[in-house]
Amino acid sequence: MKTDENIDFDIQNNVALIGINRPKKLNALSRNMFSKIHNYVAEIDQNRSVRAVIIHSKAARAFGVGADISDWASLAPLEMWRDWVRFGHRIIRDIEELLPPVIAVTNGFTFGGSLELALAADIRIAEKGSQYAFPEVSVGTIPGWMGTQKALQLIGPSKLKKLIFCAQPISADKASAIGLVDDVVPQNKGLPHALDLAEQICKSSPVAVSLAKQIVNGLTANQPVTALESIASGLAAQTEDGHEGKTSFLEKRAPVFKGF
């Protein structure tokens, strides 16, 4: 196991585990912590043995209370955009675009940027007693790490507006009822439940699982053409004609395509 900047990382039985471990600050996300998560996501992306990813908290009271205000409160507008918001967007996208499915295990307080991190996952597990909120308007800002886009797809505009406008937490059961989380389990059972799900995922074809993920992501993001193009391009490259095209180019000769 690796531990760096309050982020733990391990790979067990083809499952990558990213553990957020800053209990004294209720897992408030500093820029350095987010950077470490990004580094581990990049490592996962290069490791074809990983078939599932779990993001979880190692703090008993919180998955996370959002971005660490002390990291961004003094930033000028341009710095805020470049060094915080855009940086967050890049990490969220990289998590979403991982080939293996990502499971987020949420417990306790799951607020603001930490909720946005959970929304980047494919599956969200909630422990009983968890609370979910977008509290940003109460401190004069709005969700900045693509949370509005992701939550909109899950719960629709009216419920999302209420969640943002009121800035009040909702329970795990309420979050499940409106579609913000998928499974609700007893306290301290979130990680075992996620490991069980990951084990089931690992029994399936990693290629088929990844393709299914790309298709669904493309459809929910209203980018079906992009998803289809990416998959078709990859498949075409693996056909006999695809191999012939690459081989003939390297051998500096005209290709002899066989077709279907």
Maximum average pLDDT range among 3-17, 221-235, 239-253 = 3-17
Give the chain's domain count.
Answer: 2
The chain-wide mean pLDDT, for the chain, equals 88
Domain-ending residue, one of 202, 219, 241 = 202
Same-domain status, 112 and 221: no
Q: What is the pTM of this model?
A: 0.86
Active site residue 229: no
Active site residue 136: yes
Would 70 be classed as within a structural domain? Answer: yes
Q: What distance separates the 2 farthest-apart alpha carbons in the chain?
A: 67
Residue 14 DSSP symbol: T
**The pLDDT value given to residue 178:** 98
Would 257 be classed as within a structural domain? Answer: no
**Tens-place pLDDT, residues 26-67:** 999 988 898 999 999 999 999 999 999 999 999 999 999 998
Same-domain status, 45 and 168: yes
For residues 167 and 253, which has the higher predicted lDDT (pLDDT)?
167
Q: How far is CA 192 from the centre of its chain?
A: 19
Same-domain status, 168 and 213: no
**The pLDDT value given to residue 132:** 98
Would 109 be classed as within a structural domain? Answer: yes
Residue 225 has pLDDT above 60, yes or no: no
Same-domain status, 68 and 40: yes
CATH (domain of 63): 3.90.226.10
* Contact between residue 144 and residue 84 where contact means Cβ atoms under 8 Å apart: yes
Residue 234 has pLDDT above 60, yes or no: no
**The pLDDT value given to residue 229:** 57
Same-domain status, 215 and 140: no
At residue 233 the predicted structure's pLDDT band, cuts being 50, 70 and 90, is low
Same-domain status, 102 and 230: no
**The pLDDT value given to residue 256:** 83
**What is the rounded CA–CA span in Å between residue 205 and residue 134?**
36
For residues 120 and 1, which has the higher predicted lDDT (pLDDT)?
120
**Tens-place pLDDT, residues 70-125:** 776 666 666 766 777 788 889 999 999 999 999 999 999 999 999 999 999 999 99
Same-domain status, 24 and 62: yes
Would 45 be classed as within a structural domain? Answer: yes
Same-domain status, 219 and 173: no
Residue 25 has pLDDT above 60, yes or no: yes
Residue 123 DSSP symbol: E
Q: Given 96, 97, 116, 127, which residue is catalytic?
A: 116
Would 258 be classed as within a structural domain? Answer: no
Would 260 be classed as within a structural domain? Answer: no
DSSP percent split of the chain into helix, strand, coil, nearest 5:
50, 20, 30
Q: Given 127, 136, 229, 251, which residue is catalytic?
A: 136
Would 256 be classed as within a structural domain? Answer: no
At residue 226 the predicted structure's pLDDT band, cuts being 50, 70 and 90, is low
**The pLDDT value given to residue 227:** 57
Q: What is the residue range of 213's domain?
A: 206-250
Same-domain status, 210 and 115: no
**What is the rounded CA–CA span in Å between residue 175 and residue 171?**
6
Same-domain status, 92 and 168: yes
Residue 224 has pLDDT above 60, yes or no: no
Tokens at 76, concatenated: 């000028």
Residue 237 has pLDDT above 60, yes or no: no
DSSP 146-191: SHHHHHHHHH-HHHHHHHHHH---EEHHHHHHHTS-SEEE-TT-HH
Would 142 be classed as within a structural domain? Answer: yes
**Least confident segment among 16-20, 95-99, 191-195, 229-233:** 229-233
**Tens-place pLDDT, residues 197-211:** 999 999 999 988 998
Same-domain status, 8 and 76: yes
List 183's β-bridge partners, or say none: 125
